[in-house]
Structure 1
Amino acid sequence: MKAIKFAMAGALLAVSVLASAEEAVLKVSAIPDEAPTELQRKFAPLGAYLEKELGMKVQFVPVTDYAAVVTALTSDKIDMAWLGGFTFVQASQRGKVVPLVQREEDSKFTSKYIANAEAGINSLKDLKGKSFAFGSASSTSGHLMPRYFLQKQGIKPETFFKNVAYSGAHDATVAWVASGKVEGGVLNASVWDKLVEAGKVDPAKVKLIGTTPAYYDYNWTVRGNLDAKLQQKITKAFLKLDPKNPEQQAILELQRASKFIPTKAANYKGIESAAKEAGLLK
């Protein structure tokens, strides 16, 4: 009898240890607004930093599209995700999620309208009757907010442009415009600046023709039932990233952030309203 009890106790201990090991992994994902290899490159140093700060393994879980991130976060398949403002609103409608931090830049984010440099286009009005590309349909900066601001100017994309396409990602939009697949498009201002700085935009093929008004965008959000103490530790880790520390400055540069600041769900009410007005949310 004692042997059976010891065996059962051993089995329970093994299960407990296994459960603890599983709980010691923070599963993180991100909306695929850039190429998968670029997302992995950007996250690797941040993931290593979080592992040190949190004392647990951090695993990046790539996904195929924006909807998959929302589904994974609201069904507890992942613990934390880098979301755009619109995907945060979508996630918050499907379940309890908690936005922790955003880049300081995300409190005044913008999108850039671009055009094929050989098409003789110098403004949005010149795009009338031309082909146009948004990024992903679920993208805040590549679709929702640009569409919202276009409509505020009396431009309904489906009737103003010859045809509307969705490239799926910001860098893909630039490639489409550069190749002439479409004559105009819109993308995240941060990605545009990064591509220009890296010399990946040929000014003979693509040019900037406009910028949207500012709005709130990206944030790091966790599932609502994630341990409260762990949420606090994650927030603290992001807020302590210091640009004066060379290693941490490199992390911030990859994230295109001057620093991280706390955020809250109320910051994204404007995006929720814009999505409803644009007919993209009920």
Structure 2
Amino acid sequence: MLKRPLALFAGLVLSCSSYLAQAADTLRVSAIPDEAPTELLRKFKPLGEYLEQKLGMKVEFVPVADYPAVVESLVANKLDMAWLGGFTFVQVHLKDPTATPLVQREQDAKFTSKFITANSNVKSLADLKGKTFAFGSISSTSGSLMPRYFMLKDGIKPETYFSRVAYSGAHDATAAWVQAGKADGGVLNASVWEKLVASGKVDTSKVKVFATTPSYFDYNWTVRGSLDPALKDKIKQAFLDLDPAKPGDKAILDLQAASRFIETSPDNYKGIEEAARAAELLK
């Protein structure tokens, strides 16, 4: 009578052992979904292949549904590394102070957001009073938190200043909404705006930038706190080794919209935490 339960238990142990062994040999990576899923995969593929060569292990990209899913998955050790915005890093770090931000792009030390409109009469936020406005994701640093923070500092509370506030979910979606007239104005990060313009995915004869925020710290690559310290060091060095003078490396950097990667630390994001508390997005 005990044979079947014992067999089931043995099978479960073997299954778990197999899963853990596979997980140990695979670096599970994700990113906040601030752009379309196909675009995130396109950008990551060459970087993933580069990391596999550098680390000597499989690197797997794990898509997620939304920003909170990245935070929870990294904290729960379902991911090993994730591309986070400043605000999502703060959320991770508050839940797990051992989570480690390894590197950021050079420009992430002085990041900005762009306010856009398709209305030729709009020259400033004052001209958008009583009109509709679009943020990206509510958890986005550059598409929501920091623009909101700077507006609040200027005495503008979006929910009462605009006739309607909506969340597009992603930076490229915000640009599309504004261009299509779904919102009179919107805000997105400077890097995505520049990429959309360069690729012709936004029509600058219709949509224009009318304001830019002050600079702030933003994106970084963060690893879970329990990851092997030696592997953390190898991952960090792999990013720091990317050399824009080498064609192959430059292609990877270009896809990441990076001139190069530099080291970062949790202290860089204290200002983001303060802004989130001021905007009442953290309790």
- Does 2:104 align with 1:102? yes
Deviation by residue 1:138-178 (Cα, 9 ceiling, x = unmatched): 00000000000011111110111111000000000001000
Q: What pairs up with 1:248-267 in 2 under 5 angstroms?
A: 248-267=249-268
CA distance in 1, matches of 2:37, 2:14: 39
Normalising by structure 2, we get a TM-score of 0.92
Q: Which amino acid counterpart does residue 173 of structure 1 have in structure 2?
A: T
Deviation at 1:15, TM superposition (A): 8.4
Q: Which moved more, 1:17-26 or 1:173-182?
A: 17-26
Deviation by residue 1:194-213 (Cα, 9 ceiling, x = unmatched): 00111111123211110000
RMSD: 1.6
Distance 1:15 1:189, change over 3 A: closer
What is the match of residue 115 of structure 2?
113
Distance 1:49 1:183, change over 3 A: same
Q: Which amino acid counterpart does residue 206 of structure 2 have in structure 1?
A: K
CA distance in 1, matches of 2:22, 2:216: 40
CA distance in 1, matches of 2:52, 2:110: 30
Distance 1:17 1:187, change over 3 A: closer
Q: Which amino acid counterpart does residue 236 of structure 1 have in structure 2?
A: Q
CA distance in 2, matches of 1:205, 1:18: 52
Q: List runs of 5+ in structure 2 lacking aligned partners.
A: 1-12
Indicate if the aligned counterparts of 1:70 and 1:90 stay in contact, CA closer than 8 A: yes
Q: Which moved more, 1:61-70 or 1:192-201?
A: 192-201
What is the match of residue 8 of structure 2?
none
Q: What pairs up with 1:61-72 in 2 under 5 angstroms?
A: 61-72=62-73
CA distance in 1, matches of 2:140, 2:279: 13
Distance 1:201 1:14, change over 3 A: closer
- Does 2:131 align with 1:122? no
What is the match of residue 174 of structure 2?
173
What is the match of residue 84 of structure 2?
83
Q: How many residues are paired up? A: 270
Q: List runs of 5+ in structure 1 lacking aligned partners.
A: 1-11
Q: Secondary structure at the match of 2:43?
A: helix
Percent identity between matched residues is: 65
Q: Which amino acid counterpart does residue 104 of structure 1 have in structure 2?
A: E
Q: Which amino acid counterpart does residue 228 of structure 2 have in structure 1?
A: D
Q: Which amino acid counterpart does residue 247 of structure 2 have in structure 1?
A: P
Deviation at 1:121, TM superposition (A): 1.1
